Amino acid sequence: MLVISKYKDYYDGAVGMGIDKTIVYERKTRQEHIPKELDNLFDRYGNYSFYKKYIGNVQRDKYNTRLIHLGFCGKIYVGLVISKEVSDGYNEIKMVHKILWDRNKIRTILIKEIKKIKYSWFRNQKSELELFNNYLVKIDAYDSTKWFRKFNTPIFVVGVPPIEDIDNWKEKFNVNDDDGKLYVNPILKDYQFAKVFDPYTAFQEIQMYVSGVLGVNKDGTEFPATEKEKVAQHGMNKWSFRTPPRK
């Protein structure tokens, strides 16, 4: 796969395995309005849940959290962004962001914080876990393919990118919060997505998605696939109907 981009991402090094120039991924970051159906998918739980509320004030000993939704190669991944202010030792304060993609770790954070907060409008621990688990089931069951096709991208993210300097990111990619909340072709290293896929796997996933699902002309007609590509899309290989050689 040939990646055309002004910016580097963590999986770019995988091109060392060889470049198939017949598959082109033009990784140009842009901002789009989030479709109403997609916004409704996240509903109040995903957009205004416990996770977006401050846990105390954002100070050196405090932090805040929020959910993040990242579309990658046909699936929406739900992560938890933990933001905390830290000092560099010279009275300079900066915001540090950590992202959890492991659902069990997110559940652990959820249990920990609910035990600390006693407000009556918070549900009990069991109910919060049930809500979170039910929310994940809904997200996983949703077919988001049409949005990847609509924006012609293997990657999109909803919300402001959780990197160290948000203002520089906006200037770098020429985006504005007031214009929308969906970002097309973001840089995955800004989301610590290597925790989900290593560089080689991420590269392969994107390559297969670009050449397969997104392999359509602007008029909606599919590019003619070779017989080899058709076989691969159905999960078959040269040994599907033959016995592989013994080692």
Which of 82, 107, 209 is closest to 155 using CA atoms?
Answer: 209
In a domain, 223, yes or no: no
- Residue 228: pLDDT band by 50, 70, 90 thresholds? very low
User: Is the model's pLDDT at 202 over the cut of 90?
Assistant: yes
Which pLDDT belongs to residue 103?
94
Which of 187, 186, 210 is closest to 20 using CA atoms?
Answer: 210
Q: CA angle, 10 as apex, 5 and 16 as ends, to 5°?
A: 80
Segment 16-29 mean pLDDT = 83
- Average pLDDT over the chain, rounded to whole? 75
In a domain, 227, yes or no: no
In a domain, 237, yes or no: no
Parent domain of 145: 2-216
Give me 205's structure tokens: 């996933």
Q: Which of 29-33, 125-129, 152-156, 223-227 has the least mean pLDDT?
A: 223-227
In a domain, 238, yes or no: no
Q: What is the distance between the alpha carbons of residues 98 and 82, in angstroms, rounded to a whole number?
A: 5
Total count of domains within the chain: 1
Assessment of whether the complete model's pTM goes beyond 0.85: no
In a domain, 113, yes or no: yes
Segment 58-72 mean pLDDT = 75
In a domain, 96, yes or no: yes
In a domain, 41, yes or no: yes
Q: What is the distance between the alpha carbons of residues 145 and 72, in angstroms, rounded to a whole number?
A: 10
